[in-house]
Amino acid sequence: MNKYISCLIVFFLIIFLFVSCKSTIIDEDEFIEDIFENINMMFETDIQDYDFIYQMKNMVSGVYAFTVSDNGELYFSNWIDEGVVNEIIDVFDLNGNIIDTINLSQFAWDIALDELGISEDELENLTEPITISLDSFLPSSMTIHDNFIYFTERNQFGSTSTRVFYYNIENEELKIITTLESFTNVRNIVFSGNFLYLHGRDVELLQNTNRPHILFGDSVKSVNLITGDIETVFDESPIGIAGMDDDELMVYAYDENEGFYFLKHGTDVRIYNNLRNSINNFYFNMFGDSSIIYSFGDFLILTTLDESDIERELARDLYFLSSKPFVARSGFLFYNTHSGIRRICVREMTLGTVLNMAHTDPGGTAYYTPVPVLPALGIQTRNMSIGYYDLAFRILSGDNEIDIYYLHSQHDISDNIRRRGAFYTLNDIPGIWEYLDAVFPYVRDAALDENGDIWMLPIALDTTLFLYNERLTAEFGIDIDSINTFKDLTFVINDLRERNIPVDSGAQYEWFFDRYFYQIMRNNNGFNRNDFRTMAEFFYDYINFVKGEWSFQNSQFLNANDFAYDEYFVEIDGRRLWDWRGRYLFTPQSLSLSRFNINLALSHEIYDDEMFFEQLKSMYDGTGVYNHIPLNYIHNRYMKFPSISGMAESDITVEFIAVNPNSNNLDEVIEFLTRLIEYQMNLENSFILKDRSTYTDRHYINDVYGILNYKDNFIRFSISSDLIYDDFRAFLGDEITLDEYLNRVEFKINAYLNE
Amino acid sequence: MRFLRKLKSWNMKCIYLLIPSLAGTFIFFVIPFVRVIYYSFIDNQFRRNFVGLDNYVQTFQNEFFQLALQNSLLLIVICIPVLILLAIIISLVLSYGIKTLRKTRAAFILPMLIPTASVAEIWRLVFTGETVLPVYTLFIWKNIGICVILLTAALTAIEPEIFEAAKMDGAKGIKLHKRISVPLILPTIIFTILLSIVNSFRVFKESYLFYGTNYPPSHSYTLQFYMNNNFLKLDYQALATSSVYTMILVIILVLVCFGLQRRYSR
């Protein structure tokens, strides 16, 4: 009997395992098929591959609002001057060909009569003259549902009400739905259920003036399309609204205490996102007062008005694009540029042609793990963070799940991929040779393997820069040119302290250990006892390991990677403001952070102290919008970071993409890389392209460019400092002697390089 | 044909029952083994150019492979005799010595039950400094349990009459065990040695956890470290050739053991 029971258990176990495996596989395959099937059914196409940017060729200028129908047709509000100004809606098909033009102005007469409540016949029989105003109907926001285009008018100056219209495409009929009093600047209109939801601004007319006054800021109003009832459905600082698939409204809003959250209308459940915490305060401000949120499927697309182009650092399911209207439909994100409409495929690529990207996650205090900064170029990349063991295993086992490797030259596996030939040769990628000719020569060298084949696509450079305030260093009598080595730097810091100038010595020694290790090992020539002895003695002398601080005179321990401030805060009316960010004398700063700050400085164009001060003061007064203000760049300069040996070149690293030769999606990979190259080639202030004309003419940019363009620079693919980090700590903690430390390091480095 | 005839004469049920096991062996052992051999003859698995014995020559000439081989052999030469000797003594004491000690028999299984990570952590508290002793001690401590169990089982299987006859012939004490017990359990001793040799090649985990790095001090750098590090460097060829060398080494050691067994059995 027991035998039969055992057999049954084994049988069911096998069935269970089979079904488990099978269902996983089927689910994924079905999902991919569904995506393509739905898209193609929707568009009546046989598309298996999607264009990433769609540029309209026959666009007329002056687009005010636009929307996209479910079948992919683009509707733009527009105007043309043909002696008489006509407000129109142009309709384009998927290929960018104009298929219809709706002249809204032709309805002006009828609408005017409607509003007066008289017919054409009654007009003929009027006994007294009346005034008929042929207003503008130019849509400021619009949406399309079935055969109806719903839109709001563009408010005239001083107006305090907004009319809501629908245009029946089939009957060619324009009607006013309602007029929203004390409500203007409608940013977004959403059709959901039997309601129109409008996100706009509550206003009233100031007495004795014709100037509208903002009452409470933004709110969301609903218009019941059946009863015509108008209701304020949300007035707690909405940022954007979106219609959901289940005919519900999703609101994205801001709470002063908790930050940003999503709220499904009709419920009390607020889903806070952690953008404010996880990304950066800067992005928190980018939402501003004009963000728009869209939904499609499981995605929520958040847009914001900002002058910069696609923000590359952000999460993949949030898109921050340029300061133009957006519409998301059926997996595409459309946005309006000055010259036309671009279409970015967003959703379709997440599975069928997904590029699974791997970046290594080495861990350890001395490492920095790069965050993928690839732009969304129509092929969404799904990031897989994997460790060395897993990555090595995947590469050696011919794994085809990962398509591209997003790596950093500082990862020791990078060099192993190059040396072992574990890459797909990129020689035939369109434009790649031109791109390599366009980047700094040492970057080109790094991209070629020993046979002259292109083994990786360099994306961005990084190095440690020395940022200093030229005016302040001069005021304090610091000869900045004399700081070539770290010993020179410590001499300057101690000198400042002796003169009672507040100096922060919070730089973490792990970071410096890392820098110096790479400097010593930059040629991978093996172990040099003298170099490592010098480095060990240097750190031993300058670091109080027990306290975890630098042993400068009167040392203080702070967590910032800054050396010296001239002041920690700005005082206004006796109160300290922004006590964590003042101006500083000098600081180490990574190129990646510098690039960010420089672009920020350029976008804000803050170039003098007065503007800087005014910005702070407006914050203090509560009248200004919180803004991440970069350091006052007018006095900022960059120089090469002091090295341990005083070497002239900088230790530069590169973030790059290598392609898995076993990838199942090589066609998509090639397409993606082609677009990426095009994107890279058009970057401004890239700090990787050597063409000086692609950089803005600012003194601090010239500094950085000069450092990167130094003739002896080269990219190094070094071994990991993790190799000896524990021994280094053991030595600093007096657990082992200097000779024991050196012996261990010698064995490890020699073994690593020669085993 | 003879093989087929013999196969036909078997009960088909036996063959059916063997199929899952054979399939598993083929898929999980034979195919990987053939692949390892194949990888050892190509330049790398992405380009796959045949390079003959180049990989073998390079690996054999590599100073760190030589160091690893030397350390692995030292571990076998030093630890295994100590381990077996200790295991025999403990087994004899447990089988024929003080009766109260027999109750402690279960304690020898404990090292096998304690997770290696915990053991390595405890061992770190015991040992400090630049010495090979912790790894050797850890290996002996960890493996002595299984050896004692096997040897004690073999000793208890010896017929009491044999001892009685030997005693009547005047044998006693150590001489009794040297002449009677040990020769009788020689096959088990050889098996225990083989098992310990195989286990000595698996000492990587303990060593890795004890030193906390892929690069332990030179005296503890064994073949497993060499192979593991080359795996991380994507050098499958060094990994494959050193595996083949290890296999050859194990075969030689097994043959030596069998030779010894045959000689002493006579």
**Residue B144 belongs to what domain range?**
60-265
Could you give the CA distance from residue A386 to residue A243 in angstroms, rounded to a whole number?
37
Q: Do residue A635 and residue A569 come from a single domain? A: yes
Q: A70 is written with which tokens?
A: 């479910």
Contact status, residue A182 vs residue A212, Cβ threshold 8 Å? no
Could you give the CA distance from residue A632 to residue A525 in angstroms, rounded to a whole number?
42
Could you give the CA distance from residue A403 to residue A353 in angstroms, rounded to a whole number?
10
Q: Do residue B25 and residue B151 come from a single domain? A: no
User: Which pLDDT does position A316 carry in this prediction?
Assistant: 26
User: Which pLDDT does position A547 carry in this prediction?
Assistant: 56
Residue B237 has pLDDT above 80, yes or no: yes
Q: Give tens-digit pLDDT for B154-206.
A: 888 888 888 788 878 777 777 777 778 888 888 899 889 989 998 888 888 88
User: Which pLDDT does position A616 carry in this prediction?
Assistant: 53
Helices B54-61 and B63-74, axial angle in degrees (round to 10)? 70
Contact status of A477 with chain B (Cβ, < 8 Å): no
Q: Do residue A453 and residue A475 come from a single domain? A: no
User: Which pLDDT does position A618 carry in this prediction?
Assistant: 55
Please report the number of interchain residue pairs, chain A to chain B, with beta-carbon separation below 8 angstroms.
62
User: Which pLDDT does position A610 carry in this prediction?
Assistant: 57
**Residues with Cβ < 8 Å from A554, sequence gap 6 or more?**
A497
Q: Do residue A147 and residue A290 come from a single domain? A: yes
Q: Scanning every residue of chain A, which has its alpha carbon at the shortest distance from the alpha carbon of B238?
A: A755
Q: Do residue A229 and residue A272 come from a single domain? A: yes
Q: Do residue A616 and residue A478 come from a single domain? A: yes
User: Which pLDDT does position A10 carry in this prediction?
Assistant: 61
User: Which pLDDT does position A538 carry in this prediction?
Assistant: 79
User: Which pLDDT does position A509 carry in this prediction?
Assistant: 66
Question: What is residue A673's three-state secondary structure?
Answer: helix
Residue A65 has pLDDT above 90, yes or no: no
Confidence of residue A392 (pLDDT cuts 50, 70, 90): confident
Q: Report which residue type is found at A278.
A: S
Residue A190 has pLDDT above 90, yes or no: no
Helices B204-211 and B223-232, axial angle in degrees (round to 10)? 70
Average pLDDT over residues A156-179: 87
Contact B45 A392 (CB under 8 A): no
Handedness of CA A41, A46, A51, A55 (dihedral sign): negative
Q: A397 is written with which tokens?
A: 């086992």
Whether A742 maps to a domain, the answer reads: no
Average pLDDT over residues A191-207: 82
Residue A80 has pLDDT above 90, yes or no: no
In order of B21, B85, B112, the CA distances from B191 in angstroms are 23, 14, 18
**Residue A477 belongs to what domain range?**
468-649
What residues are paired with A658 via a beta bridge?
A405
Whether B49 maps to a domain, the answer reads: no
User: Which pLDDT does position B118 carry in this prediction?
Assistant: 83
Residue A383 has pLDDT above 90, yes or no: no
User: Which pLDDT does position B36 carry in this prediction?
Assistant: 93
Contact status, residue A103 vs residue A88, Cβ threshold 8 Å? yes
Confidence of residue A268 (pLDDT cuts 50, 70, 90): confident
Contact A421 B232 (CB under 8 A): no
The DSSP annotation for A425-437 comes to: --TTSTTHHHHHH
Contact status, residue A692 vs residue A630, Cβ threshold 8 Å? no
**Residues with Cβ < 8 Å from A513, sequence gap 6 or more?**
A366, A539, A721, A725, A728
| Nearest-neighbour CA in chain A from B256: distance (Å) | 30
Q: Do residue A368 and residue A248 come from a single domain? A: no
Confidence of residue B26 (pLDDT cuts 50, 70, 90): very high
**Residues with Cβ < 8 Å from A51, sequence gap 6 or more?**
A343, A345, A378
- For residue A303, give the nearest of A354, A348, A241, A356 by alpha carbon: A241
Q: Do residue B68 and residue B143 come from a single domain? A: yes
Could you give the CA distance from residue A494 to residue A491 in angstroms, rounded to a whole number?
5
Handedness of CA B69, B73, B74, B76 (dihedral sign): positive
User: Which pLDDT does position A96 carry in this prediction?
Assistant: 58
Q: Scanning every residue of chain B, which has its alpha carbon at the shortest distance from the alpha carbon of A727?
A: B213
Q: Do residue A438 and residue A398 come from a single domain? A: yes
What residues are paired with A223 via a beta bridge?
A196, A230
Whether A49 maps to a domain, the answer reads: no
Structural domain count, chain B: 2
Q: Give tens-digit pLDDT for B83-123.
A: 999 998 888 888 876 767 667 777 777 888 888 888 888 88
Contact A747 B65 (CB under 8 A): no
Contact B229 A723 (CB under 8 A): no
Contact B62 A755 (CB under 8 A): yes
Could you give the CA distance from residue B156 to residue B181 in angstroms, rounded to a whole number?
10
Q: Do residue B136 and residue B178 come from a single domain? A: yes
Exposure string (b/e) for A675-699, b if CB count within 10 Å is 16 or more?
bbbebbbeeebbbbbbeeebbeebe
* Residue to substitute from B31, B38, B45, B46, interface A, most A β-carbons within 10 A: B46
The helix or strand, by DSSP H or E, that contains position B160, with its residue range, turns out to be helix B160-168
- For residue B216, give the nearest of A362, A739, A748 by alpha carbon: A748
Q: Report the C-alpha dihedral over residues A86, A92, A97, A102, rounded to 10 degrees.
A: -30
Q: Do residue B216 and residue B146 come from a single domain? A: yes
Average pLDDT over residues A382-398: 77
Neighbours of A658 (CB within 10 A): 22
User: Which pLDDT does position A97 carry in this prediction?
Assistant: 64
Q: Rounded to 5 degrees, what are φ and ψ at A746?
A: -60, -45
Q: Do residue A392 and residue A300 come from a single domain? A: no
Q: Do residue B103 and residue B226 come from a single domain? A: yes
Whether A751 maps to a domain, the answer reads: no
Q: Rounded to 5 degrees, what are φ and ψ at A625?
A: -85, 135
User: Which pLDDT does position B157 carry in this prediction?
Assistant: 85
The residue out of A326, A346, A366 marking a domain boundary is A346
Could you give the CA distance from residue A375 to residue A588 in angstroms, rounded to a whole number?
27
Neighbours of A634 (CB within 10 A): 18
Structural domain count, chain A: 3
- Contact residues on chain A for B234, CB-CB shorter than 8 A: 392, 395-396, 413, 416-417, 420, 422
Q: Do residue A393 and residue A519 come from a single domain? A: no
Percent of chain A with pLDDT over 70: 57
**Residues with Cβ < 8 Å from A724, sequence gap 6 or more?**
A517, A744, A745, A748, A749
Q: Do residue B81 and residue B131 come from a single domain? A: yes
Whether B3 maps to a domain, the answer reads: no
Mark residue A2 as left, alpha or beta (left: phi above 0; alpha: psi -120 to 50; beta: remaining): alpha
Contact status of B129 with chain A (Cβ, < 8 Å): no
Q: Are strands A543-544 and A549-550 parallel, antiparallel or unpaired?
A: antiparallel
The DSSP annotation for A186-197 comes to: EEEEEEETTEEE
In order of A294, A412, A620, B69, B105, the CA distances from A298 in angstroms are 11, 38, 40, 57, 63
Q: Do residue A434 and residue A519 come from a single domain? A: no
The residue ranges of DSSP E strands in A182-316, in sequence order, are: 183-192, 195-205, 212-224, 230-234, 238-243, 249-255, 259-264, 270-272, 292-296, 299-303
Measure CB to CB from residue A747 to each of B62, B215, B233 and give the nearest one: B215
Contact B215 A751 (CB under 8 A): yes
Neighbours of B59 (CB within 10 A): 25
Confidence of residue A708 (pLDDT cuts 50, 70, 90): very high
Q: Give tens-digit pLDDT for A634-644.
A: 678 899 888 77
Q: Do residue B15 and residue B103 come from a single domain? A: no
Q: Do residue B30 and residue B162 come from a single domain? A: no
**Residues with Cβ < 8 Å from A101, sequence gap 6 or more?**
A88, A89, A90, A91
Contact status, residue A660 vs residue B46, Cβ threshold 8 Å? no
- Contact residues on chain A for B229, CB-CB shorter than 8 A: 751-752, 755
